[in-house]
Structure 1
Amino acid sequence: MALFRQVMELGGVTAAAAALNISQPAVSKMLQQAEDRLGFRLFLRQRKRLVPTSEALSLFPEVVGALAGIELVQRLSRDLREGRGGLLSLAVTPTLAHGLAPRLVRQFRQAHPDVSLSLRAHPLQEVIRLVIDHRVELGLVMGPVGDSSVMVRDLAERELGCVLPPGHHLAGRAALTAQDLAAETLICVAPHQPVRVLLQHAFEQAGLPLAVAIEVSQSSIACALAEEGAGIAVLDGFALMSARARGAEVRPFRPRVAVQARLLQSRRRPLSRQAEGFVDLAMREL
């Protein structure tokens, strides 16, 4: 196919032979063999020039497309072999999609600029299911996993904290306790999420009931409500990363309560080079 393309584009055997760095008789022989296999003429000789037949003109666009496809496969195979290019698919829980994941994605892209990433935010159980079903290669979650079908790597640990409304009377405290928050308007995520479970336990340890005035599905919503003055948002440290970056009033919760970020992969599927690079980065940086 490459020979046919060169003859078509350059208009003669001599030029095609020079471009392919082979002899002119070899080009003529290869063209004759191609015509014998196809069962029709590709070129007619007129005044020492090769003129393509109507059949050759019909074939030429398809040959150009086929060669482009072959070149693409070769380039992709080379990139995959050398750990360049390709696509890495990630599923993350919403809190980490706003805090930890952007940092890791930025660092990974700096090290692997040729790799494309697909990042999808889902609840914890859906992230686990996507990893098990091999619809994504890696999952980034927070809290306990409890499924033996996935391999779990512990990453960073961050403590719970509070986002205060601007000018709140508790802003003078260095840290906040359950006693401080008991009479306040509290904003928190749903009861099944790790932060809410940990906060409930902390209030029980303090002998106080936990009364959440505003329940939200995502930590980013809780942050926005607190910054608008709707109440105090109690969140994990990963969600607090973006709040601090915006200059919000943030105070740690005491006694210290920590939540763990974890990286998931399927036990039944080996990691691609791209995924291995992401895992190495996450384990090294966190």
Structure 2
Amino acid sequence: MNLSIRQLATFREVMRCGSISEAARTLGRTQPAISSTISGLETELELKLFVREQGRLVPTPEAEFFLEEADAILKRLEISKRTLRGLANREQGQLRIACIPEVVEDFLPDVISRFLSDKTKVNIALASKSSAEIEDLIAAQHFDIGIAETPKVRSSFDQLDFELECMCALSSSDPLASKEVITPADLDGYPLALLHPEHRSHKQTLDRFRDTGVQINQRFELQTSKPGLKFVEAGLCALICDMVTAFKTQEIYKHGFGPPLIVFRPFRPRIQNNLSILTPTHRPISIVAKEFSDTLGKRISGIRSSMIRLVV
């Protein structure tokens, strides 16, 4: 059996109109063309769908039953067309995003919210994972996009790298806040908050202090930088902070009331905290995922451009 969409649509219109001539006018076709289409459909179905009674076109019981089937098929087709049109126009789809904790707290939800403002039918699955987990999840094609610390190059995912660095967060009332750049010598014996030992910034920080020959006084160990900002506000410590968290905190202060309670200063020698956007190599990226990846990349580049003014 080889039914066509035109046959189904023509049959439905004849059933609705009750005549070949009216269906022809509605569809913008000739009466012979409509009659030929119905005849071909009856041949395919091996069923008589209409009979003539006193010059009137009367549907058979089989036609009444088949109308439900034809209508369901055509409605499903229309839904599919709208869905595909929405995908092409980036209005529909699903995004699975895996992200490291320091980016997922404030920055990424803000980017997603702006991205979805005109995309009411795009759904998001968001997971907070370690960089190592994200690499494996993207390589296994379980997620569409990953945001992680810059990994070693692998053939199983593509990566777009961003050179970021850590900042030193200080209470605005701290005398060190007047300095343009903070060095290990400035923090000799000073209480510090650092990210956990598995984070790449941790070892780099220890190395900078050791190479300078000054004492490091780690008072707080953190999973992400954000909780440490409260300790900095209270004057309990300085914080070696990732650039994304520093940027978001400055943005909050810009739109708040009163002077900032925390200032961010470049730390030298530099502590790298590079990020990468990861996508699976062996699966084509969807239209909506590509657009989001581009949007995310611009936002991360904007962070570096904004914060680098403090660094230069």
Fold agreement, TM-score > 0.5:
yes
More divergent stretch after superposition (185-194 vs 115-124): 115-124
Specify the alignment match of 2:258 in structure 1. none
Q: After superposition, where does 1:142-161 map in structure 2 within 5 Å?
A: 142-145=149-152, 147-155=154-162, 157-161=163-167
Are residues 246 and 284 of structure 1, via their aligned partners in 2, closer, same or farther at CA, if it must alter by over 3 Å?
A: closer
Are residues 19 and 174 of structure 1, via their aligned partners in 2, closer, same or farther at CA, if it must alter by over 3 Å?
A: same
2:129 partner letter: H
Within the candidate set 240, 262, 280, 2:276 is matched to 262
Are residues 182 and 46 of structure 1, via their aligned partners in 2, closer, same or farther at CA, if it must alter by over 3 Å?
A: farther
Aligned mates of 2:54, 2:192 — CA distance in 1: 91
1:265 partner letter: T
Q: After superposition, where does 1:182-261 map in structure 2 within 5 Å?
A: 182-227=188-233, 231-247=237-253, 248-255=261-268, 256-261=270-275
2:275 partner letter: A
Aligned mates of 2:99, 2:161 — CA distance in 1: 14
| 8 A contact 2:107–2:248 mirrored in 1 | no
Specify the alignment match of 1:33 in structure 2. 40
| 8 A contact 1:161–1:235 mirrored in 2 | yes
Are residues 11 and 197 of structure 1, via their aligned partners in 2, closer, same or farther at CA, if it must alter by over 3 Å?
A: farther
Following TM superposition, by how much is the alpha carbon of 1:102 offset from its aligned partner in structure 2, in angstroms?
5.3
Aligned mates of 2:91, 2:229 — CA distance in 1: 38
TM-score normalized with structure 1 length: 0.78
Identity of aligned pairs, percent?
Answer: 25
Are residues 55 and 221 of structure 1, via their aligned partners in 2, closer, same or farther at CA, if it must alter by over 3 Å?
A: farther
**Secondary structure of 1:134's partner?**
coil
| 8 A contact 1:99–1:238 mirrored in 2 | no
Unmatched segments (≥5 aa) in structure 2:
1-7, 254-260, 302-312
| 8 A contact 1:99–1:241 mirrored in 2 | no
Tell whether 2:189 aligns with 1:176. Answer: no
Following TM superposition, by how much is the alpha carbon of 1:133 offset from its aligned partner in structure 2, in angstroms?
1.0
**Secondary structure of 1:258's partner?**
coil
Specify the alignment match of 2:304 in structure 1. none
**CA offsets per residue over residues 33-86 of structure 1, 9 Å max, x none?**
323433444445566554544444444344333223323434454565677754
Aligned mates of 2:295, 2:267 — CA distance in 1: 31
TM-score normalized with structure 2 length: 0.73
Are residues 144 and 31 of structure 1, via their aligned partners in 2, closer, same or farther at CA, if it must alter by over 3 Å?
A: closer
| 8 A contact 1:80–1:273 mirrored in 2 | yes
**Secondary structure of 1:246's partner?**
helix
Are residues 143 and 32 of structure 1, via their aligned partners in 2, closer, same or farther at CA, if it must alter by over 3 Å?
A: closer
**Secondary structure of 2:168's partner?**
strand
Are residues 11 and 212 of structure 1, via their aligned partners in 2, closer, same or farther at CA, if it must alter by over 3 Å?
A: farther
Following TM superposition, by how much is the alpha carbon of 1:173 offset from its aligned partner in structure 2, in angstroms?
3.8
| 8 A contact 1:98–1:242 mirrored in 2 | no
Tell whether 2:134 aligns with 1:127. Answer: yes
Are residues 171 and 24 of structure 1, via their aligned partners in 2, closer, same or farther at CA, if it must alter by over 3 Å?
A: same
| 8 A contact 1:4–1:31 mirrored in 2 | yes
| 8 A contact 2:168–2:264 mirrored in 1 | yes
1:238 partner letter: V
Q: How many residues align?
A: 284
Are residues 206 and 103 of structure 1, via their aligned partners in 2, closer, same or farther at CA, if it must alter by over 3 Å?
A: farther
Aligned mates of 2:198, 2:248 — CA distance in 1: 23
More divergent stretch after superposition (176-185 vs 231-240): 176-185
Are residues 92 and 115 of structure 1, via their aligned partners in 2, closer, same or farther at CA, if it must alter by over 3 Å?
A: farther
Are residues 200 and 24 of structure 1, via their aligned partners in 2, closer, same or farther at CA, if it must alter by over 3 Å?
A: same
**Secondary structure of 1:191's partner?**
coil
**Secondary structure of 2:148's partner?**
strand
Are residues 56 and 240 of structure 1, via their aligned partners in 2, closer, same or farther at CA, if it must alter by over 3 Å?
A: farther
Tell whether 2:13 aligns with 1:6. Answer: yes
Specify the alignment match of 2:102 in structure 1. 95
1:268 partner letter: H
